[in-house]
């Protein structure tokens, strides 16, 4: 073979090939790092958006029900000989909220529909945990197609329950809707859950951290006080409520931050009053706060 032709053949040395591999590796590592950062940021934004969206959905539900609290149906003149206003028995007072017909009762720091002692096996509630307030809402309605019981009364209750899912112990929001059963010929009745609109312990949202309700009168004064039975609203103040501040705080389903927060710099969730808590885990917590004005009480 001609030696001059061999000199014109181009090629790569081993050093050049190694340099190329190293440069390619660096570029791929930079691309992967960029992708990981973008993907992590996207996941964080998505998680935050999910918490915000689900919080708004529940807030809308709460706003609708709170505005209905205390509504009473007046039929007036009619051709069916129905009473012009509700004949249903009224049981007042907040000593037994599961029985009461008062329009809006808030019970501080109490889980489950029926009260369960914190720290018991039934409750699975950490006695040092402040989750969550409970809300009873009562309003009336009318059904002209029901000659046996034309006037209707409903009670909606929002409350939290403890959930244990493996090592993950958390809370979820539930809703129960009941109807007062009392025919025209009866002077008394009872709450039932067998009506077509009723439901028991309907799961509304998982991963609740806290649910806080604070009622105000028309002067902007808080209407909660403490008594021997716990933090409940005074019976004399039940009909002075003009607005309710609502705070819902939710936790992300998965761990959000890369590292735990140290004891010196915990992640703090602020309450509406002095109800704040510190967390040191990797979960994201976000709050939705609104003020709802009542329409049928407080005047």
- Within a domain: 179: yes
Q: Which two tokens stand for residue 178?
A: 């009941």
At residue 156, the pLDDT reads: 96
At residue 213, the pLDDT reads: 93
Specify the DSSP element, H or E, that contains 285.
strand 283-293
Q: Is the pLDDT of residue 198 over 50?
A: yes
- Within a domain: 143: yes
At residue 229, the pLDDT reads: 42
Residue 110 near residue 117 (C-beta atoms within 8 A): no
Residue 276 near residue 247 (C-beta atoms within 8 A): no
Give the pLDDT band of residue 1 (cuts 50, 70, 90). low
At residue 159, the pLDDT reads: 94
Domain count, the chain: 1
Q: Residue 213: which domain range?
A: 31-293
Buried residues in 33-49 as b, exposed as e (16+ CB within 10 A)? eeeeeeeeeeeeeebee
Tell me the per-residue pLDDT of 3-36, one tens digit each, with 9 for 90 and over.
Answer: 565 556 666 677 778 888 888 888 888 888 777 7
- Dist. CA 44–CA 56, nearest whole Å: 18
At residue 131, the pLDDT reads: 81
Tell me the per-residue pLDDT of 241-287, one tens digit each, with 9 for 90 and over.
Answer: 999 999 999 988 887 777 888 888 888 888 887 788 888 888 888 88
- Within a domain: 16: no
- Within a domain: 271: yes
- Within a domain: 210: yes
Listing DSSP states for 138-156 in one string gives: EEEEE-TT-SS--EEEEEE
What average pLDDT does the segment 135-158 reach? 92
What average pLDDT does the segment 175-186 reach? 93
At residue 114, the pLDDT reads: 81
- Dist. CA 203–CA 217, nearest whole Å: 31
């Amino acid at each position: 073979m001609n030696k001059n032709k061999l000199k014109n053949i181009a090629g790569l040395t081993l050093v050049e090939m190694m340099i190329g591999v190293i440069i390619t590796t660096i570029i791929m590592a930079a691309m992967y790092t960029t992708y990981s950062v973008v993907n992590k940021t996207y996941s964080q934004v998505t998680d935050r958006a999910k918490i915000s969206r689900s919080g708004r959905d529940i807030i809308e539900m709460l706003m609708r029900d709170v505005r209905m609290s205390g509504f009473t149906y007046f039929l007036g003149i009619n051709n069916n000989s129905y009473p012009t206003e509700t004949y249903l028995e009224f049981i007042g007072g907040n000593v037994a909220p599961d029985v009461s017909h008062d329009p809006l009762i808030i019970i501080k720091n109490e889980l489950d529909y029926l009260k369960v002692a914190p720290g018991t096996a039934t409750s699975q509630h950490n006695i040092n945990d402040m989750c969550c307030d409970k809300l009873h809402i009562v309003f009336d309605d009318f059904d002209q197609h029901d000659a046996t019981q034309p006037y209707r009364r409903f009670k909606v209750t929002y409350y939290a329950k403890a959930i244990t899912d493996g090592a993950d112990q958390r809370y979820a929001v539930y809703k129960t809707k009941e109807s007062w059963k009392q025919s025209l010929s009866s002077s008394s009745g009872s709450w039932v859950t067998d009506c077509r609109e009723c439901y028991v312990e309907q799961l509304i949202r998982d991963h609740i951290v806290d649910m806080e309700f604070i009622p105000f009168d028309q002067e902007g004064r808080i209407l909660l006080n403490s008594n021997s039975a716990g933090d409940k609203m005074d019976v004399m103040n039940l009909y002075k409520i003009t607005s309710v501040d609502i705070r819902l705080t939710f936790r992300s389903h998965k761990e959000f931050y890369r590292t735990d927060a140290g004891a010196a710099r915990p992640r703090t969730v602020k309450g509406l009053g002095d109800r704040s808590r510190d967390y040191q885990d990797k979960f994201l917590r976000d709050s939705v706060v609104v003020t709802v004005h009542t329409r049928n009480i407080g005047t």
